[in-house]
């Protein structure tokens, strides 16, 4: 029969190599699995935020360029030049080069149009295609 003292004292743990039920190293494996998922999720959220920011910068640049082109005494080329410069300053030369801006005027309406692909910084994630148009009535036709 065992003594009362042996019932209260836990047995010393077996070394990992001898006990097949031991979970030696399991914490490291779990950490790596969770860390990979967390990093992938963080990069996806950052990429989404970057796409939205670049898209908003493009729309703001097109709108301002259309407003400039619609001003009396200005041309569509002036508006296009302003839109390209604003996009380059706000989102960078990479975005401005990837999304060309075209302009046209017809029947008192100035139209600036941009179509291209916003690139991704996350490997394996394709770029986001964008197609935007800004329209403004010319001042003298109002």
Say which residue the tokens 């009362």 belong to.
4
Residues of the chain above pLDDT 90, percent: 65
Would you report the helix, strand and coil content of the chain in percent, each value rounded to 5?
55, 20, 30
pLDDT digits (tens, 9 = 90+) for 86-107: 999 999 999 999 999 999 998 8
Q: Is 83 helix (H, G, I), strand (E, B) or coil?
A: helix
Long-range contacts of 128-132 (CB under 8 A, 24+ apart): 128/51, 128/55, 130/55, 130/58, 130/99, 132/55, 132/58, 132/59, 132/62
pTM (predicted TM-score): 0.75
């Amino acid at each position: 029969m065992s003594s009362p003292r042996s019932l209260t004292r836990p047995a010393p743990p077996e070394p990992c190599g001898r006990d097949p039920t031991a979970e030696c190293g399991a914490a490291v494996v779990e950490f790596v699995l969770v860390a990979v998922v967390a990093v992938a999720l963080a990069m996806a959220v950052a990429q989404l935020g970057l796409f939205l920011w670049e898209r908003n910068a493009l729309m703001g640049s097109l709108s301002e360029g259309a407003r400039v082109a619609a001003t009396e005494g200005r041309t569509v080329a002036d508006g296009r030049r302003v839109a390209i410069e604003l996009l380059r300053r706000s989102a960078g030369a990479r975005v401005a080069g990837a999304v060309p801006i075209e302009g046209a005027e017809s029947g008192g309406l100035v139209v600036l149009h941009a179509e291209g692909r916003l690139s991704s910084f996350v490997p394996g994630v394709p770029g986001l295609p964008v197609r935007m148009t800004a329209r403004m009535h010319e001042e003298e036709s109002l």
